[in-house]
Amino acid sequence: MSAAASQPHLSFDDWLAIERTTIDQRSEYVAGEVFAMAGGTEEHNLIVLNVGAELRSQLKGRPCRVYPSDMKVYIASAEVGAYPDVMVICGERAFYDGRRDVVTNPILIVEILSDSTEAYDRGDKFRHYRSLESLRAYLLLSQDQMQAELFLRQPDGTWSLSSYEGAADSIPLSLIEAELSLAEIYDKVELQGSSNSMG
């Protein structure tokens, strides 16, 4: 997300109307301000595809849906409209309106970190996401090294952190009865300091 805001003080509905008609540039909405989004790298796109494919395969035949980065999420309490890299919703989907392109009740959100977004994804964006009552897990994945951080909401409302590194590690997602292998997440991804891609 770009640090420079444009068109400040729009309503969420105004932003959404613009976003639905814009083809070549996506943006995110934060409390009246609009922030341009940069395009993803090859590594980013491969990780998003790998995560989405793994989750879809494991959740097949069950009442859970996996959404890639074209689906928007609206966080009413924070006045935020965002495009998570991957989302999972189990059970009934709650849409913002009849267009069915904005959801409000993900159980899992995955974000792929980059140099330009890491501070925001760890800080304000996570704070916004935490205000979603439905959210139970937030997964951060590095695109430069094999590294994952899983934040899980505890019964008392606090969040616990578990870290995973190395191809032998798997991330347990018991809330959706699934797990993600780091070897699969980083399949064919060229990591920093590595002359060969995984897989």
Residue appearing with tokens 């965002």: 82
137 in a structural domain: yes
Distance between CA atoms of residues 127 and 152, nearest Å: 13
CATH number at residue 134: 3.90.1570.10
* DSSP per position, 142-160: ESSSSEEEEEEE-TTS-EE
* Contacting residues for 7 by C-beta, under 8 A, at least 6 apart: 33, 34
Please report which helix (H) or strand (E) contains residue 52, including its range.
Answer: helix 42-59
What is the pLDDT, as a whole number, of residue 195? 45
What is the pLDDT, as a whole number, of residue 197? 53
What is the pLDDT, as a whole number, of residue 116? 84
What is the pLDDT, as a whole number, of residue 198? 52
What is the pLDDT, as a whole number, of residue 28? 94
> How many of the other CB atoms lie within 10 Å of CB of 160?
9
> How many of the other CB atoms lie within 10 Å of CB of 138?
25
Do the strands 86-90 and 137-142 form a parallel or antiparallel pair, or are they unpaired?
unpaired
46 in a structural domain: yes
147 in a structural domain: yes
- Whole-model pTM: value is 0.91
Digit-by-digit pLDDT tens for the chain (199 residues) are: 443 444 458 999 999 999 999 878 899 999 999 998 887 899 999 999 999 999 999 999 999 999 999 999 999 999 999 999 999 999 999 999 999 999 999 999 999 998 888 989 999 999 999 999 999 999 999 999 999 999 999 999 999 999 999 899 999 999 999 999 999 999 999 997 554 455 5
Domain that holds residue 172: 40-185
- 141 and 113 Cβ atoms separated by less than 8 Å: yes
What is the pLDDT, as a whole number, of residue 110? 98
- 191 and 141 Cβ atoms separated by less than 8 Å: no
HEC sequence for 13-28: HHHHHHHHHCCCCCEE
21 in a structural domain: no
Structural domain count of the chain: 1
26 in a structural domain: no
6 in a structural domain: no
16 in a structural domain: no
What is the pLDDT, as a whole number, of residue 171? 98
197 in a structural domain: no
What is the pLDDT, as a whole number, of residue 24? 80
